């Protein structure tokens, strides 16, 4: 195709995108058909052409592209369970969820965003420890925790959280774990209610990182000393590592709740479907492993 033809084609795509929120139902229906027939990455096109779309246009495009994005995620969802590397499982699952959540908005791939933060930490020149990584996120990069009154599904979109340096504690815990993987730090999730803790061991001492409290690092013993009568139950929770699959399931469960709260019934039901797929795959895997 000639450059002139390319320009005509790009101009047509731009016109379609700008008409996505047209007030006329017939125009919107025609635009929807045309956009769905395009074999291009719409978010990348918007980004590369520096298009300044209105919020109503993004909202309309999210609806237009939903079926395509839904089908794409369904096709590959659950494949990440077969990955042998635990943090790799988490990264693959969260990459798939972020891409779906981004909808029509362009954001770099989650892996690329994590690589950039990891490189920034190394360039900062501090000693590579779990405690310093937490301090780097909150004190150097200025990450902030989304308060419950503002909490929503976007707070669990890791790409958005990395972009804005602001998100729900569970999302920042995931980012911390995935950065640890890049920096060869052994960080894991923790089965503490709400999954807002990560855990690591240093000099045979178990430490907890509290992402409700801006990444504060405390010893497990310090945390347990505050539990009073519930110390035994807390100790049991702290002593168990949360697997990536368990963490992903908690996050998808949270998305079910937040989408319901936002009255986004379609996405809430879709997240339930993703949970069912995971459960089927996990049951099938357990049966396969039990077969002599």
Summarize the confidence of residues 223-231 as an average pLDDT.
77
pTM for this prediction: 0.89
User: Looking at the predicted structure, is the pLDDT value of residue 57 above 80?
Assistant: yes
Sheet order of strands, 241-242 included: 216-219, 205-210, 197-202, 188-190, 241-242
- Per-residue pLDDT band for 286 (boundaries 50, 70, 90) equals low
User: Looking at the predicted structure, is the pLDDT value of residue 1 above 80?
Assistant: no
User: Looking at the predicted structure, is the pLDDT value of residue 216 above 70?
Assistant: yes
The rounded mean pLDDT for the chain is 89
The owner of tokens 């074999």 is: 39
| pLDDT tens string 234-261 | 777 777 778 889 899 999 999 999 999 9
| pLDDT tens string 10-47 | 889 999 999 999 999 999 999 999 999 898 999 999 99
User: Looking at the predicted structure, is the pLDDT value of residue 129 above 50?
Assistant: yes
pLDDT at position 5 is: 38
pLDDT-wise least confident of 86-95, 118-127, 262-271 = 86-95
Helices (H) and strands (E) in the chain, counts: 13, 7
Counted residue by residue, the chain has a size of 292
Q: Are 20 and 103 in contact (CB under 8 A)?
A: no
Q: In b/e form, how buried is each residue of 270-291, taking b as 16+ CB within 10 angstroms?
A: bbbebbeebeebeeeeeeeeee
| pLDDT tens string 80-106 | 887 766 788 999 999 999 999 999 999
The owner of tokens 């640890």 is: 180
pLDDT at position 148 is: 83
The domains located in the chain, with CATH, are: 1-76 (no CATH), 84-243 (3.10.620)
State both tokens at 28: 């919107």
State both tokens at 241: 């590592």
- Per-residue pLDDT band for 285 (boundaries 50, 70, 90) equals low
| pLDDT tens string 138-172 | 999 999 999 888 899 999 999 999 999 999 999 99
């Amino acid at each position: 195709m000639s450059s002139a033809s390319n320009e005509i084609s790009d101009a047509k795509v731009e016109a379609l995108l700008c008409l996505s929120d047209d007030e006329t139902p017939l125009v919107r229906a025609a635009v929807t058909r045309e956009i769905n027939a395009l074999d291009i990455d719409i978010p990348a096109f918007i980004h590369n052409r520096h298009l300044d779309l209105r919020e109503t246009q993004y909202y309309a495009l999210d609806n237009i592209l939903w079926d395509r994005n839904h089908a794409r995620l369904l096709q590959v969802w659950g494949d990440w369970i077969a990955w042998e590397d635990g943090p790799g499982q988490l990264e693959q699952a969260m990459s798939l969820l972020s891409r779906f959540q981004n909808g029509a908005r362009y954001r770099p791939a989650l892996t690329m965003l994590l690589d950039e933060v990891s490189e920034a930490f190394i360039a900062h020149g501090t000693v590579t420890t779990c405690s310093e990584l937490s301090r780097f996120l909150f004190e150097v990069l200025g990450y902030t925790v989304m308060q419950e009154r503002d909490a929503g599904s976007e707070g669990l979109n890791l790409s958005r959280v990395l972009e804005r340096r602001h998100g729900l504690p569970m999302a920042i815990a995931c980012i911390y774990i995935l950065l640890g993987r890049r920096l060869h730090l052994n960080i894991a999730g923790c089965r503490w209610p709400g999954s807002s803790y990560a855990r690591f061991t240093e000099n045979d001492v178990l430490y907890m990182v509290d992402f409700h409290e801006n990444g504060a690092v405390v010893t497990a013993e310090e945390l347990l000393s505050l539990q009073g009568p519930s110390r035994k139950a807390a100790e049991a929770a702290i002593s168990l590592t949360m697997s990536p699959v368990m963490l992903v399931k908690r996050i998808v469960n949270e998305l079910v709740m937040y989408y319901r709260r936002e009255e986004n019934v379609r996405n809430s039901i879709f997240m339930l479907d993703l949970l069912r797929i995971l459960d089927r795959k996990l049951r099938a895997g357990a049966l396969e492993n039990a077969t002599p």
